[in-house]
Amino acid sequence: MSGEQGPARRNLRRFVELSSVRGISRVLKTDSVVVRVIWILAVVTCTSMLIYQLRRVVVQYFSYEFLTVTKEDTSSATVSYNLHFSISGDSTVMKLGEQ
C-alpha cells in the first residue's frame, strides 16, 4: 500500500501539476532537491508578501474618516477623505476657490 496513493492525494497532485501558478507546478516537476527547496521558498515568500500587502491596503483603506450627512427625509450621503492623488501634479485641475 506504500506505492498506492489515495484519490484525494492523486487529485491534489494533478491540480498542482496543472496549476497556472508557475512556482507550484515546478515544485513537483523538478528532480533536484535543491531546486525544489528554492521553488518552495519562492512560493512561500511571494505568498507571504501578497498577504502582507493585502492586509496593509485593507487596513489603510479602513483607517480613513467618513462623514455621513443625513437629512430629515432619511436620505444620506457619505463623504470620504481618501485622496490618493496629487492635484499639484496636474495643471489643468483648478484648486477650490479659483475661477
Amino acid symbol at 72: E
Count the neighbouring beta carbons within 10 Å of the beta carbon of residue 39: 20
Task: Give me 61's grid cell.
Answer: 483603506
pLDDT at position 26: 84
pLDDT at position 72: 63
Q: Is there a contact between 62 and 56 (Cβ–Cβ < 8 Å)?
A: no
Task: Give me 96's grid cell.
Answer: 477650490
State mean pLDDT over 1-20: 78
Tens-place pLDDT, residues 21-52:
778 888 888 889 999 899 999 999 999 999 99
What's the distance, Cα to Cα, between the start and end of the chain in Å? 82
Tens-place pLDDT, residues 54-92:
999 999 888 877 766 666 665 556 655 555 555 555 444
